[in-house]
Chain A
């Protein structure tokens, strides 16, 4: 059967697929090449982290929280710490609040650059993927320089932060910020002015403002549809309370909001610049002082085991609103711990944004919500007459990009 014949079939994308950074199964019904209906299922790598946490003390959970996500391993422990601090009424020293913001924004820069690379790959621009991820190395190097690790940093602590940033370290951070200011213009040229990227992303995978509000979508995906939700602005925690953050929408750059894939790229690109500015301000305005509420961990643990209360925290992770809820009853381990990562909310958007897309658009449209799901290769066709594996699906996307380039060149030739 050829795809051009308008036969109906159903394909399962995932659970393992390069557009998905963590397994999720998306069932797509197509008619010819047009997507007509979408369903999804989660849980393929459910690790029972909350269940494990209910058998650990809060200090042990902190390191478990860091392992919820390989990318957002500042956001998760930060949300967990803030929830526990809320339950125990612990006041975090101001300097630690600024340090938390610096680490959180370094995380946002590397996460958004990771997304831009994935988006380029899904369109077939692997040279841009390699360039974007090369650029990302700089921030990972700084994270390693400051924390000793590129990924699991272990810098958060309940009631503060474990590692200060010394005066000697600041010049290197400033050098990194300068580097990003320099390459930011180039990234804008690549992603915002390239006609082929626009052809593949404009008016594709649209999520309207109303849909985003109804489905409780969060983060850059919601902001790209014109919903100005940003926890750093609406419910500022840590030093964001001093920084007057403003939620970024595509209207910040252009005068219109379409809620398409291009708008999601714009928002994340602008947020890289916003993060650079936030780090600069923090370095300038960060007060001197202690960085831990209680530096002796045995004493802290005794304090935490006495909590008979519940706490909740909201954090703006790179993908949006992240929640941790915790309830302690004067015991070693909590009786309840709930984590809600942003993708948990944003997957509700997948059926809406895929509807009426071409099959070749599926990889970029799914990737455009930056789902926090791991990347390997497999897509299986449910229809026994055809086999459409990951390579073929990705190939369709690349083929569409090349066809658009050809059409454009022909059009210019005709002129």
Chain B
């Protein structure tokens, strides 16, 4: 199935579950071959349902990684999936955006559906301080000396307080 047909199927399948469905294309080479990136937003209570629906389009949707950042009032988590892979020029790079309230940033794990999401989810938990329901305990990247510091946060929980004076050579307090 080519990318455009797959995007049509994806749009139809997710019609009731996502908003702001957007397709961005870029052209490459002398042949002006197109690459397709699809962006969509999902509610944090329903995003797992969207992930489940991807399995109806492909037996093993390829989860690439999740990105995350502090957007002020919310923490945005972006789940990046490479869909319709193993076909020449047919891959669709699908990004599902989930906004979590800063007060209680909590979402469900998808590791029961995609075991390969484990490192990604642990990273978001450690770097953004979000709670991921159902994710196995244990740290992956940061040790206990950074307890209570979430480096990618832009508020008082971020790493700025421990990172000042990095260029002066002074000891970090």
Contacts and interface: CB of A to CB of B under 8 A. Distances in A.
Chain A partners chain B: yes
Interface of A: 41-43, 46, 48, 50-51, 85-86, 91, 94, 97, 213-217, 227-229, 231, 233-244, 246-247, 285, 287, 312, 314, 321, 323, 325, 327, 335-336, 338, 340, 344-345, 347-348
Contacts of B116: 214-217, 345, 348
Contacts, number: 138
List the 10 shortest-distance A-B pairs measured between CB atoms, nearest first.
Answer: A216-B116, A241-B29, A43-B141, A241-B33, A336-B69, A338-B67, A340-B65, A234-B91, A241-B28, A213-B60
B67 A336 contact: yes
Main secondary structure of the interface of A (DSSP, over half): mixed
B119 A347 contact: yes
Contacts of B95: 312
8 contacts: A43-B142, A51-B159, A216-B63, A234-B91, A240-B29, A241-B28, A244-B88, A345-B64
A228 B118 CA distance: 23
Nearest to A347: B119
Given A242-B29, A345-B65, 7 more contacts: A42-B119, A43-B140, A86-B37, A213-B62, A235-B89, A285-B30, A340-B64
Interface string B108-152: 000000111111100000000000000000011111000000011
Interface stretch (B9-17, B78-86, B98-106): B78-86
B51 interface: no
A238 B26 CA distance: 10
B28 A216 contact: no
B28 A229 contact: no
B88 A321 contact: no
Interface in B41-85: 59-60, 62-65, 67-69, 71, 76, 78, 80, 82, 85
Nearest to A326: B67
Contact of A327 (B69, B86, B88): B69
B24 interface: yes
Interface of B: 24, 26-33, 35, 37, 59-60, 62-65, 67-69, 71, 76, 78, 80, 82, 85-91, 93, 95, 114-120, 139-143, 151-152, 159, 163
Contacts of B114: 214, 216
B86 A323 contact: no
B112 to A, nearest CB: 12
Contacts of A247: 86
A335 B69 contact: yes
A234 B69 CA distance: 28
Contact of B64 (A97, A246, A321, A335): A321
Given A48-B151, A213-B60, A235-B91, A323 B65 contact: yes
B129 to A, nearest CB: 14
A42 B140 contact: yes
A348 B115 contact: yes
Given A241-B31, A338-B67, A235 B80 contact: no
Given A235-B35, A338-B67, A287 B30 contact: yes
A91 B26 CA distance: 9
Nearest to B63: A216
